[in-house]
Amino acid sequence: MINRIKGTQDLLDLTLFNFLIESVKKQLALYNFHEIATPIIEPTDLFKRSLGTETDVVNKEMYTVNTGADQELICLRPEATAATMRAFIEAGIQTIPWKVFSWGPMFRHERPQKGRYRQFHQVSLEVIGSDSIYQDIQVITLLERLFCDILKLDEYALHINFLGCAQDRIVFKKLLYDYLTTLTQLCDTCIIRKEKNILRVFDCKVKTCQELYADAPKITQSLCATCLSEWQTIKQSLEHLSVSYSHVPTLVRGLDYYEKTVFEFVGLQLGAQNAFCGGGRYNQLATIVGSKQDYPSVGAALGIDRLVLLLEQKKDGLLIPQKPPLYIIAPFSKEQFDIALLLADELQAQNICVDVLLEGASFKSMLRHANKAGARACLIIGPDEQKAREVTVKNMITGAEEKVSQRDVAIFLKA
């Protein structure tokens, strides 16, 4: 017995998964985003440069492959933003802002838990080449409308923070460093982060650390005049649009490339690891991955697996498209298999959903099968029907039977 790899899943019923992807696609099309797809494998360097070498993703969680002869290091993508930016630069896109989205599996070697997998699925959307803070507001708004109005989620919160520009963070990091130096009870991880990637101390899950950071300096108090005005704009504009949010001063997001706006949509039921969507602005990413010029950008990623978990509790209230009615053709024996396939072929050509039972089962067990499959009707072909070029249509709900000429079955079923 060979089992699936730890942290992966076999998706055996994709109803909710597909409903979610389709809903997101529809919503993004409304806002004039278009779909792209980038490779699942990328050069390892792309993520080392973009995410930063002091992040957990690059340090511990990447699936890296040495490709042998040419010694090129490639990896399974741990996220999509850097790859989208690479594609933008590589294609020499001139029309900006470039509003795109993609979706698919991502890979991180994390400790698996409910809703968190080593192969997980994300939708990633980006607005590349705009420094307008109003784009950030629109991205947040379209996500809020999706979660609230279309997916009918409740019990979640929108957390936002503003990380300022590079200059603001230099000032703030100094303030924070001095503050942390006055503390004596930091955990080991925070002591390391303080030296190497100081903003990430706020991601610490240790309770005593969290309590200490409640009184830490806030980055929104170290903003330059431009950033301060943008931060005010975001808050006011979200209020005008009736998007409720909470300002969470310790929200920094794990990755190095974020600046200014950062946000997360957080489920209030999932437990500690509970963000199901996150994003922010990344103005330097283009030059970090090799562009000669800056392309300020904003984007977000939606965690499909976690959203599916949330939707499972809501599925009765969702507008999930109904499957078309199913008809089952039940030939009595091998002598009728040919005519059964021929009939199925004609019906399927007319967009009627048909399954043919070709296992030579008994009549009784074919009816049971049709019942279990939720068929609307069973199309019975025995020797008599074959001779008369007819079909007995048995309505699976009422049990009523009617003989119909084989020529007219499609018309009969559609009526």
What is the crossing angle of helices 166-181 and 188-196, to 10°? 140
CA dihedral 162, 168, 170, 172 (to 10 degrees): -60
What is the enclosing helix (H) or strand (E) of 377? strand 377-381
Of 155, 120, 119, 162, residue with least CA distance to 140: 162
CB atoms within 10 A of CB 13: 7
Does position 378 interact with Zn ion (CB under 5 A)? The reply is: no
Q: Which C-beta is closer to Zn ion: that of 51 or that of 209?
A: 209
Q: Which C-beta is closer to Zn ion: that of 206 or that of 318?
A: 206
Residue 324 gets which letter from DSSP? Answer: P
* Residues 86-105 as x/- pattern, contact with Zn ion by CB under 5 A: --------------------
Residue 129 C-beta: closest distance to Zn ion, Å: 20
Asked whether 340 and 356 are in contact (CB, 8 A), the reply is yes
Of the ranges 157-165, 250-258, 322-330, 332-340, which one interacts with Zn ion (CB under 5 A)? 157-165
Q: Which C-beta is closer to Zn ion: that of 209 or that of 301?
A: 209
Residues 204-233 that bind Zn ion (CB under 5 A): 204, 206, 209, 224, 227
Residue 223 C-beta: closest distance to Zn ion, Å: 5
Q: Could you tell me if residue 389 is left (phi over 0), alpha (psi between -120 and 50 degrees) or otherwise beta?
A: left
The token duo for 28 is 């993004």
Does position 171 interact with Zn ion (CB under 5 A)? The reply is: no
Residue 260 C-beta: closest distance to Zn ion, Å: 8
* Residues 105-144 as x/- pattern, contact with Zn ion by CB under 5 A: ----------------------------------------
Q: What is the total residue count of the chain?
A: 415
Of the ranges 54-62, 82-90, 156-164, 326-334, which one interacts with Zn ion (CB under 5 A)? 156-164
The token duo for 42 is 């990328």
Asked whether 238 and 137 are in contact (CB, 8 A), the reply is yes
Does position 168 interact with Zn ion (CB under 5 A)? The reply is: yes
From candidates 187, 318, 320, 352, binder to Zn ion by CB under 5 A? 187
From candidates 36, 165, 243, 341, binder to Zn ion by CB under 5 A? 165
How far apart, in whole angstroms, are the C-alpha atoms of residue 115 and residue 63? 20
How far apart, in whole angstroms, are the C-alpha atoms of residue 178 and residue 182? 7
Size of the site for Zn ion (CB under 5 A): 10
Residue 188 C-beta: closest distance to Zn ion, Å: 8
- Asked whether the bond before 97 is cis by omega within 30 degrees of 0, the reply is yes
Of the ranges 96-104, 179-187, 360-368, 383-391, which one interacts with Zn ion (CB under 5 A)? 179-187
What is the enclosing helix (H) or strand (E) of 138? helix 133-145
Interaction site with Zn ion (CB under 5 A): 164-165, 168, 187, 190, 204, 206, 209, 224, 227
